[in-house]
């Protein structure tokens, strides 16, 4: 391993922020960019009058609705760390995009609302992080409002998530009386001073030892006494800190602050980048691929169309796993079994792109996609071919027949559906019944239908009708032979095929699926698409 490769790996941090909707994820993301020097004035999604929106929310519908519905990549340098921040949708209807993005992250920041504690979407995303074994750092947000006590929040993490938390700092007051935090490692107190503009700029901060004269002038005697009591309680009854337990996901370093007012953001960023792990390798069909390998490898975890409305282009987001990517290099596209030239790579600040000359393990780069990439594709320097095994494909739970309101716009509709399916935003299925040619769209969350209609109209000029279907389960058929005609639609199920021609059945409910299994014991169903293998499935009569 070259010393340059080793140095570049050690300074990189690639992480995602996970949370329940409205916990403040977009706000925290912006404030990390503010303190990282990537932006100079933080705006809020809700600041409509000023026409300023969240840096990470680039899609028009996100700005109008005040929600994140797609992942974005935000990259900046802070104190010699090259940071790749993977911003993810907070809304549960877009959790599939979040799950895929987590496959590209090496750690996660779990953001919780100090008043609401651990919420349902947080639990789901936490479980995904645990399954992947990545470290989880907790940021208890909104301390500028009255909420649960820090001890209550720590207790809830253990009871609900089964994970112990180690408070790296401790808040002084809450609500309007939230003054600062005590750093347990340095034994210094950070007292914050807001300077107007509602958190749009970095906050004033004074740092002094707890028992210093300066601190006695900044805090009241009762505040100091309460803080000393809390610290003594933590030191006596709390966990011992173990970086090994943090890196294996057994212990979560916990921080307190307010992203809205910027209180506690810098102490969190400093400590997080110090403790978070550098880029790790990924499992593949050829074994575990370490980042220190000299050969370039990477995988596509996201595809986004129309980030630049003026050019209607498509970008494939690739996570570099090992080696050194150099602009213009040739790499092998494993699924297509062909060599391609990787020209014009970019890095991102939401929708803004910057051309780059090279990239290292942990980096996320954007590749121009002329239609050759799919989510999960592996790219590598010419060596033995293998596939990375880290990007999940989910079974949709909501279905609808999609038609064009204007028959003359059907080509635009078909193009839009194809591109959005390649993004992973939707899945497209073809009906197998005679005379039924309109495509069926499957999604993980209901709100995706609304986004689908919006994007089809805004980006492709296709006004569509979405007729929802009464099905809730999609199962791929596993069989040596399968005849769809012998498995006719009975009102509670429908046979379709996916983009690869593989058959699957849409079921109305669990009972309908069990009934089909009893009636056709020669068949088996699975929730994920099987790997394409010769003669594994035959569609049509035997």
Question: What per-residue confidence (pLDDT) applies to 395?
Answer: 75
pLDDT, average across residues 464-486: 85
Q: What is the pLDDT of residues 56-76, one digit of tens each?
A: 444 554 445 444 434 467 888
Burial class (CB in 10 A: 0-12, 13-18, 19+), 164: middle
Name the 3-class secondary structure at 448. helix
Say yes or no to pLDDT of 44 above 70.
no
| Type and span of the H or E element at 297 | strand 297-305
Say yes or no to pLDDT of 48 above 50.
no
Rounded to whole angstroms, the Cα distance separating 478 from 524 reads 5
Residue-wise burial string across 240-249, b where 16 or more C-beta atoms lie within 10 A, e elsewhere: eeeeebbbeb
Alpha carbon separation from 162 to 107, 108, 127, 132 (Å, rounded) = 18, 17, 10, 16
pLDDT, average across residues 123-136: 86
Question: What per-residue confidence (pLDDT) applies to 314?
Answer: 82
- Smallest Cα–Cα separation from 205: which of 232, 183, 223? 183
Question: What per-residue confidence (pLDDT) applies to 311?
Answer: 54
Say yes or no to pLDDT of 30 above 60.
yes
Which range is least confidently modeled, 8-12, 41-45, 246-250?
A: 41-45
Going by C-beta distance under 8 Å and a sequence separation of 6 or more, which residues neighbour residue 369? 303, 313, 314, 315, 316
Rounded to whole angstroms, the Cα distance separating 76 from 81 reads 8
pLDDT, average across residues 128-146: 92
* Residue 202 CB neighbours (<10 A): 15
Q: What is the pLDDT of residues 336-395, one digit of tens each?
A: 999 999 988 888 665 567 888 899 999 999 998 888 998 899 999 977 789 998 666 667
The pTM for the full model equals 0.78
| Type and span of the H or E element at 415 | helix 410-423
Question: What per-residue confidence (pLDDT) applies to 312?
Answer: 62
Residue in the block written with tokens 């391993």: 1
Answer yes or no: same fold for 17-68+108-275 and 398-526: no
Residue 532: pLDDT band with limits 50, 70, 90:
very low
Say yes or no to pLDDT of 534 above 60.
no
Q: What is the pLDDT of residues 2-16, one digit of tens each?
A: 889 999 999 999 999
Domain residue limits, the chain: 17-68+108-275, 282-380, 398-526
Question: Hey, what CATH topology would domain 398-526 get?
Answer: Alpha-Beta Plaits (3.30.70)
Residue 170: pLDDT band with limits 50, 70, 90:
very high
What percent of the chain clears pLDDT 90, i.e. is strictly above it? 47
Question: What per-residue confidence (pLDDT) applies to 486?
Answer: 65
Question: What per-residue confidence (pLDDT) applies to 531?
Answer: 55
CA dihedral 141, 144, 147, 151 (to 10 degrees): 60
Q: What is the pLDDT of residues 299-348, one digit of tens each?
A: 999 888 766 656 567 889 999 999 999 999 999 999 999 999 998 888 86
Between 533 and 38, the higher pLDDT residue = 38
Question: What per-residue confidence (pLDDT) applies to 43?
Answer: 53
CATH architecture of 282-380: 3-Layer(aba) Sandwich (3.40)
pLDDT, averaged across the chain: 83
Say yes or no to pLDDT of 22 above 70.
yes
Alpha-helical regions (H) of 57-202: 60-65, 95-102, 120-132, 150-156
Between 497 and 112, the higher pLDDT residue = 112
Say yes or no to pLDDT of 269 above 50.
yes
CATH architecture of 17-68+108-275: 3-Layer(aba) Sandwich (3.40)
Out of 120-129, 147-156, 513-522, give the one with best mean pLDDT. 147-156
Question: What per-residue confidence (pLDDT) applies to 477?
Answer: 87
Residue 515: pLDDT band with limits 50, 70, 90:
confident
User: Apex CA 504: angle with CA 370 and CA 483, to 5°?
Assistant: 120
Name the 3-class secondary structure at 2. coil
Say yes or no to pLDDT of 258 above 60.
yes
Name the 3-class secondary structure at 493. strand
């Amino acid at each position: 391993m070259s010393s340059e490769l080793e140095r570049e790996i050690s300074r990189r941090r690639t992480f995602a922020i996970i949370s329940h909707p409205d916990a403040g994820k977009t706000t925290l993301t912006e404030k990390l960019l503010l303190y990282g020097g990537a932006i100079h004035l933080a705006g809020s999604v809700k600041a409509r009058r000023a026409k300023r929106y969240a840096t990470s929310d680039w899609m028009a519908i996100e700005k109008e609705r005040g929600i994140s519905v797609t992942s974005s990549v935000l990259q900046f340098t802070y104190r010699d760390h090259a940071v790749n921040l993977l911003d993810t949708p907070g809304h549960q209807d877009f959790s599939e995009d979040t799950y895929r993005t987590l496959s590209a992250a090496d750690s996660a920041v779990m953001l919780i609302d100090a008043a609401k504690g651990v919420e349902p979407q947080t639990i789901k995303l936490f479980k995904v992080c645990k399954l992947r074994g990545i470290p989880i750092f907790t940021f208890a947000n909104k301390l500028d409002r009255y909420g649960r006590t820090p001890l209550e929040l720590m207790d809830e993490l253990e009871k609900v998530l089964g994970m112990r938390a180690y408070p790296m700092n401790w808040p002084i007051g809450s609500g309007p009386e939230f003054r600062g935090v005590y750093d347990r490692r340095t034994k210094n107190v950070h007292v914050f001073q807001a300077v107007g503009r509602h958190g749009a700029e970095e906050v004033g901060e004074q740092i002094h030892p707890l028992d210093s004269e300066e601190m006695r002038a900044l805090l009241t005697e009762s505040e100091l006494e309460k803080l000393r009591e809390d610290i003594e309680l933590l030191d006596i009854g709390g966990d011992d800190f173990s970086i090994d337990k943090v890196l294996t996901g057994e212990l979560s370093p916990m921080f307190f602050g307010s992203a809205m007012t910027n209180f506690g953001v810098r102490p969190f960023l400093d400590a997080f980048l110090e403790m978070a792990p550098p880029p790790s390798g990924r499992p593949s069909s050829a074994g575990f691929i370490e980042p220190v390998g000299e050969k370039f490898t990477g995988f596509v975890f996201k595809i986004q169309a129309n980030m630049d409305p003026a050019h209607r282009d498509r970008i494939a987001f690739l996570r570099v796993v090992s080696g050194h990517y150099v602009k213009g290099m040739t790499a092998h596209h494993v699924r297509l079994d062909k060599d391609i030239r990787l020209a014009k790579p970019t890095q991102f600040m939401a929708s803004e792109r910057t051309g780059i000359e090279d990239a290292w393990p942990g980096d996320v780069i954007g590749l121009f996609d002329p239609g050759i990439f799919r989510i999960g594709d592996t790219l590598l320097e010419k060596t033995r071919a293998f596939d990375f095994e880290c990007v999940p494909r989910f079974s949709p739970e909501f279905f609808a027949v999609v038609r064009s309101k204007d028959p003359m716009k059907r080509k635009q509709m078909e193009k839009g559906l194809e591109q959005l399916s390649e993004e992973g935003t939707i899945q497209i299925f073809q009906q197998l019944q005679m005379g039924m040619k309109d495509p069926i769209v499957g999604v993980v969350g209901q709100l995706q239908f609304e986004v689908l209609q919006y994007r089809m109209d805004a980006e492709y000029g296709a006004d569509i009708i979405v007729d929802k279907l009464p099905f809730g389960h999609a199962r791929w058929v596993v069989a040596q032979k399968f005849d769809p005609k012998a498995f006719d639609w009975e009102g509670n199920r429908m046979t379709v095929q996916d983009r690869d021609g593989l058959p699957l059945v849409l079921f109305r409910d669990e009972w309908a699926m069990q009934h089909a299994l009893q009636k056709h014991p020669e068949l088996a169903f699975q929730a994920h698409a099987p790997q394409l293998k010769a003669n594994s499935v035959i569609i049509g009569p035997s």
